[in-house]
Chains A and B, each alone.
Chain A
Amino acid sequence: EAQVTQNPRYLITVTGKKLTVTCSQNMNHEYMSWYRQDPGLGLRQIYYSMNVEVTDKGDVPEGYKVSRKEKRNFPLILESPSPNQTSLYFCASSNRLDQPQHFGDGTRLSIL
């Protein structure tokens, strides 16, 4: 089954404790991206990747890092999480830039 898998689905942690949210897709998609969703703000793009070893900033990249060492994986790294990064995070992928995105089920992060 074609899917985008995020882990963990839920995480409560404390300020400053590094964390990684993994994202994996099994569709051989080139394009992958991360979004955060906050009430009233819709989804905002954090980072995107157009292929292996090619990443770029989205609208709200501050406080986040990503890597794309393999085509299928696109982890989101919070080196020193802060409470304002409490949010619902989505990973998405697509075959080409002009194609629809396939979304994961989301990761709800709470930073205390």
Chain B
Amino acid sequence: SQQGEEDPQALSIQEGENATMNCSYKTSINNLQWYRQNSGRGLVHLILIRSNEREKHSGRLRVTLDTSKKSSSLLITASRAADTASYFCATRNNAGNMLTFGGGTRLMVKP
């Protein structure tokens, strides 16, 4: 079953603008992770936020987690054409043995 649902499914912005992607999930989690996938390639881990954390930063990335609303957001600031990719959220269940992915957001950053 698909735990996470990303919103929007596709996003097109101009270079320099900020991009915000949202993820909602259904059951309680141990942590939530964001991954990036360039076309046809493997996923690359971006950032992990634990259930007891509310916000994390990594370079131009900012992730928030609201466990009461079962939602997370990924903000990419000052986007670049090289940020063009699909972005996935994934939730780790409390037992830790399953990682469940959402359907992804396709981001296009126009130069």
* A interface residue numbers (CB < 8 A to B): 4, 33, 35, 40-45, 48, 50, 56, 58-59, 88, 90, 92, 97-106, 108
The answer on a CB contact under 8 Å between A50 and B101 is no
Check A48/B45 contact, CB under 8 A, given A42-B104, A97-B92, A98-B31.
no
CB of B20 within 8 Å of the partner chain: no
Number of residues on chain B facing chain A (CB within 8 A): 27
Closest 3 CB pairs between A and B?
A97-B96, A103-B42, A100-B45
Q: Which of A40, A48, A97, A106 has the most CB of B within 10 A?
A: A97
Chain A residues near B98 (CB-CB < 8 A): 45, 48, 58-59
A101 to B90 CA separation, bound complex (whole angstroms): 10
* B interface residue numbers (CB < 8 A to A): 1-2, 4, 30-31, 33, 35, 40-45, 48, 50, 88, 90, 92, 96-104
Chain A residues near B90 (CB-CB < 8 A): 43
Residue of B nearest to A48 (CB): B97
Q: Say whether chain A's binding surface is mostly helix, strand, loop, or mixed.
A: strand
The answer on a CB contact under 8 Å between A45 and B99 is yes
A106 to B44 CA separation, bound complex (whole angstroms): 12
The answer on a CB contact under 8 Å between B40 and A106 is yes
Check A40/B103 contact, CB under 8 A, given A90-B43, A97-B96, A97-B97.
yes
Chain B residues near A101 (CB-CB < 8 A): 33, 43, 45, 99
